[in-house]
Chain A
Amino acid sequence: MKRRTVLAGGAAAAALGMTRAAWAQQETVKAGFIYVGPKNDGGWSQHHHEAALEMAEHFGDKVELVIQESVPEGADSERAMTQMALGGADIIFTTSFGFMDPTINVAAKFPDVKFEHCTGYKTADNVGVYSARFYEGRAVQGFLAGKMTKTNKIGYIASFPIPEVIRGINSAYIHAKQVNPDVEFAVIWAFTWFDPAKESDAAQALIEQGCDVVLQHTDSTAPQAAAQKAGDVYTFGQAADMAEYAPMPRISSIIDVWAPYYIERVQAVLDGTWESDNTWDGIGAGMVGIGEISSAVPDDIKTEAEALRDSIASGEYHPFTGPLNKQDGSAWLAEGEVADDGTLAGLNFYVEGLKGDIPS
């Protein structure tokens, strides 16, 4: 027992201390994924998992997949990552914002292992970050919502008041307002990413108060079901296509498309060309997918929406283009000015016209 301990300790020191100047080419890769929710949560974690499986299938024998689901943020996630790194993982994808500091901590102990953290902002030599510009998809949703609403009241089920969600609300509002100046937004902060019963109630409350389009930034299909029951209410799929609710109430969706990125990054590990990156891709790069616009939408509106999508994809148009004022009326972006990524990354205010306060 004693001896074993000593030996293991020695191995540890070697594992922790060894560094390589450059990554070498590899025959096979062990890729780890850490999810915050169950891998079949029907939303965020499931999408990462499906993309991981797609990536593994793409590489066949060359990739061994290890996953850990329902990992709480904090100390538990740090252990899960260490466990994977000790187990010989070459690259570990940590797919929740709350894993940011643990990822940095563990990465410092395993300079040989590459880490990819989703939706964070801290990088290191062996830590890259990636996220998607979901607000680009929100622009298309906002456009459709503005066109389709008859009551001019649009409901928005928000999760937590963080920049990502606030970007989505602003982007949707700006584009709804552009095509329908009378439009009003009612925002419900659910303070959960996932609570089907509460999401259902929230959708219900919005619909009862006259909203005939409901956007959601929570992950379950409960709002879709509530809208379907109400009849003439439009919704959009979130994270997943939610095509089972098409053509009504779901008229389009924002889909998280991670697989190409995972394939690219694992390929880089195989080639020995992996470098820390800061990827923030949108519709153009294919990280944000716009689900099929359903037959419930008139053809001319559908064509316009697709044109908007394509102009965002090509980079011709940026969803946050001035003139735009902040909620309090002060100027934010001048005519033709485009928001810079730094401001967008930390966006914490509403644009002019939105009512209510962001909880803080």
Chain B
Amino acid sequence: MDLSAINPAVLLASLMVASTPILLAAIGELIVEKSGVLNLGVEGMMITGAICGFAIAVQTGSPALGFVGAAAGGALLSMTFGVLTQFFLSNQVATGLALTLFGLGLSALLGQGYVGIKPPPVGDINLGPLADLPFIGRVLFQHDAMVYFSLLLVAAVWAFLKYTRAGLILRAVGESHDAAHALGYKVVWVRLMAIAFGGACAGLGGAYLSLVRVPQWTEGMTAGAGWIALAIVVFGSWKPWRVLIGAYLFGGVTVLQLNLQAAGLAVPVEYLSMSPYLITILVLVIMSSGRGRAALNAPASLGRSFHASS
């Protein structure tokens, strides 16, 4: 065993990259859940975003346009969920699962002509002297634009929820749709917008996989990342910065277990592979223990259909 081979700066830098897809998807889902909607179809929207982004980036030669297309694709697919749950009042859990099934099939159909192609490369942003700082430079300042975008998005979501009127309305809708409706807010439209935002973010997360982290297109390439994003929203108790911590923690444990293996640590691999999930459960328990739902910060109307009876 040679643990000295693990360079903490490099480890931190790669955990940021590894965490970005789930962070993007999770921050989108946070907004969705804050509006009182539980969309379990994150996986389906991510993979659809992955192929939309990939296809558009390949066709246009521009990764930036690819990301725009991924966001649009994810948002468009999420509207299926939005229309079903908001207008047809279908059960959110079942519709979300159906969305995942549909998204996996649709993406595979769309992607049939894109297997084995290399996408246009996404470069790292040149931050000049910052990148040369010892330790910090390697950890923070040698990444591609999407890593920074995801961090900005977390900040923006945090500010949106905390300081803006629109954020207040969104929270009101999520806490009590009946009260929000009585106050004259358009519950259904607020939720639709939140769902679209969630879809766009999930799409971006998927495209980050297919354009940056892997980069290639293959069926089922998200391999469960969407489910992790869902877990992280709860793990972060619906707070943007905690979601960031959760995503980085999960990405960190994943990267660390591979590094420990590479360093020859004699821990059974199966148990190492379980560790990110077990640690997430453990943290969930610690966070929720001894406190009620209110302390957990869960939107009170989460998962409930809204129908204006008046």
Shortest Cβ distance from A98 into chain B, in angstroms? 17
Checking B215, B216, B273 against A191 with a beta-carbon cut-off of 8 angstroms, the contacting residue is B273
Shortest Cβ distance from A296 into chain B, in angstroms? 18
- A222 CA to B222 CA in the complex, in Å? 13
Interface string of B212-225 (1 = CB under 8 A from A): 01111011111101
B209 touches A210 (CB 8 A): no
Which of A40-48, A109-117, A252-260, A307-315 forms part of the interface with chain B?
Answer: A40-48
B262 touches A155 (CB 8 A): yes
B213 touches A188 (CB 8 A): no
Checking B112, B221, B261 against A189 with a beta-carbon cut-off of 8 angstroms, the contacting residue is B261
Interface string of B252-267 (1 = CB under 8 A from A): 0011001101111010
Query: Given A40-B219, A225-B215, A197–B263 Cβ distance below 8 Å?
Result: no
Query: Given A197-B225, A359-B270, A186–B115 Cβ distance below 8 Å?
Result: no
Interface string of A181-200 (1 = CB under 8 A from B): 00000111101101111101
Q: Give the chain A neighbours of B223 by CB distance below 8 A.
A: 192, 195-198
Q: A206 at the A/B interface (Cβ < 8 Å)?
A: yes
Q: Give the chain B neighbours of A208 by CB distance below 8 A.
A: 6-7, 10-11, 14, 259
Q: B128 at the A/B interface (Cβ < 8 Å)?
A: no
Q: Give the chain A neighbours of B18 by CB distance below 8 A.
A: 197, 201, 204
B258 touches A205 (CB 8 A): yes
Interface string of B98-127 (1 = CB under 8 A from A): 000000000010001001101000000000
- A240 CA to B264 CA in the complex, in Å? 29
Shortest Cβ distance from A11 into chain B, in angstroms? 34
Question: Which residues of chain A (215-230) have a CB below 8 Å from chain B?
Answer: 220-222, 225
Q: B308 at the A/B interface (Cβ < 8 Å)?
A: no
- A356 CA to B261 CA in the complex, in Å? 9
Q: B134 at the A/B interface (Cβ < 8 Å)?
A: no
- A216 CA to B259 CA in the complex, in Å? 16
Q: Give the chain A neighbours of B7 by CB distance below 8 A.
A: 208-209
A38 touches B219 (CB 8 A): yes
A244 touches B14 (CB 8 A): no
Q: A355 at the A/B interface (Cβ < 8 Å)?
A: yes
Q: A202 at the A/B interface (Cβ < 8 Å)?
A: yes
Q: B269 at the A/B interface (Cβ < 8 Å)?
A: yes
- A155 CA to B255 CA in the complex, in Å? 15
B216 touches A205 (CB 8 A): no
A42 touches B218 (CB 8 A): yes
Query: Closest chain A residue to B17 by CB distance?
Result: A204
A225 touches B266 (CB 8 A): no
> Chain B CB within 10 Å — which of A46, A194, A206, A359 has the most?
A359
Q: Give the chain A neighbours of B184 by CB distance below 8 A.
A: none
A186 touches B219 (CB 8 A): no
- A290 CA to B18 CA in the complex, in Å? 33
Q: B21 at the A/B interface (Cβ < 8 Å)?
A: yes
A209 touches B116 (CB 8 A): no
- A40 CA to B21 CA in the complex, in Å? 24
Q: B183 at the A/B interface (Cβ < 8 Å)?
A: no
> Chain B CB within 10 Å — which of A202, A204, A240, A357 has the most?
A204
- A41 CA to B225 CA in the complex, in Å? 19
Shortest Cβ distance from A315 into chain B, in angstroms? 34
Shortest Cβ distance from B93 into chain A, in angstroms? 24
- A225 CA to B118 CA in the complex, in Å? 9
Query: Closest chain A residue to B22 by CB distance?
Result: A197
B214 touches A225 (CB 8 A): yes
B264 touches A355 (CB 8 A): yes
Shortest Cβ distance from B191 into chain A, in angstroms? 31
Question: Which residues of chain B (4-41) have a CB below 8 Å from chain A?
Answer: 5-7, 10-11, 14, 18, 21
B266 touches A357 (CB 8 A): yes
- A40 CA to B112 CA in the complex, in Å? 7
Query: Given A41-B218, A201-B18, A220-B216, A196–B269 Cβ distance below 8 Å?
Result: no
Shortest Cβ distance from B293 into chain A, in angstroms? 33
Shortest Cβ distance from B248 into chain A, in angstroms? 14
Q: B268 at the A/B interface (Cβ < 8 Å)?
A: yes
Query: Given A204-B14, A244-B116, A244-B118, A197–B221 Cβ distance below 8 Å?
Result: yes
Residues of B within 8 A of A (CB): 5-7, 10-11, 14, 18, 21, 108, 112, 115-116, 118, 209, 213-216, 218-223, 225, 254-255, 258-259, 261-264, 266, 268-270, 273
A/B interface sample: 21 pairs, CB < 8 A: A38-B219, A40-B115, A40-B116, A42-B115, A42-B216, A191-B270, A196-B221, A197-B21, A197-B209, A197-B213, A204-B258, A209-B259, A209-B262, A211-B262, A220-B221, A221-B216, A240-B116, A355-B264, A356-B266, A357-B266, A359-B268
